[in-house]
Amino acid sequence: MATFNLHINGKQQQVDADPSTPVLWVLRDNLNLVGTKFGCGIAMCGACTIHVDDVATRSCVLPVSAIGSKKITTIEGLSEKADHPVQKAWMEKDVPQCGYCQAGQIMTAAALLKKNANPSDEEIESTMSGNLCRCGTYQRIKAAIKTAAASL
């Protein structure tokens, strides 16, 4: 066990965890931030996507010891009132079915738009293809990203 001081959603948080513990489980088990989801544990589905210094990152394979002073943002910290342009677009297009993968989809999309407010179809496609949606809401994800991009 070791103690880590993490910068999460604009706050300093102290956690005791084994250094190998993936950030996903630190968030879910230690910090009660369960919006970041467990899907595969091998960075193949994207359900666990968070931002590490604004870069979309799979938290299920990221050891807590690798974070250092980097800033972590989770779905809970993306906005205070679920009013980030991507979240608003997701609601407007009523994207979710089961909803389980959507926090990861939103975090991936938000990081993309932060980097490039007007991404091409090809950029959207290559970025979003790392996030699985088993319900098959891909058409709506595309529509929501376009809506969010237009609002930026």
- Interface residues with another protein (CB under 8 A)? 1, 17-18, 20-22, 25, 28-30, 32-42, 44-45, 47, 74-76, 78-79, 82, 87, 90-91, 94, 96-103, 106, 125-126, 128-142
Minimum gap (Å) between residue 4 Cβ and another protein: 14
Minimum gap (Å) between residue 35 Cβ and another protein: 2
Spatial contact of 93 and 140, defined as CB atoms under 8 Å apart = yes
Question: Which one, 114 or 135, has the nearer CB to another protein?
Answer: 135
Instruction: Estimate to the nearest angstrom the gap between the alpha carbon of 69 and the chain centroid.
Output: 19
Minimum gap (Å) between residue 46 Cβ and another protein: 10
Question: Which one, 7 or 142, has the nearer CB to another protein?
Answer: 142
Question: Which one, 44 or 55, has the nearer CB to another protein?
Answer: 44
Minimum gap (Å) between residue 68 Cβ and another protein: 19
Residue 56 φ/ψ, nearest 5 degrees: -65, 125
Question: Which one, 1 or 11, has the nearer CB to another protein?
Answer: 1
- Angle (CA) 12-16-19 rounded to 5° is 105
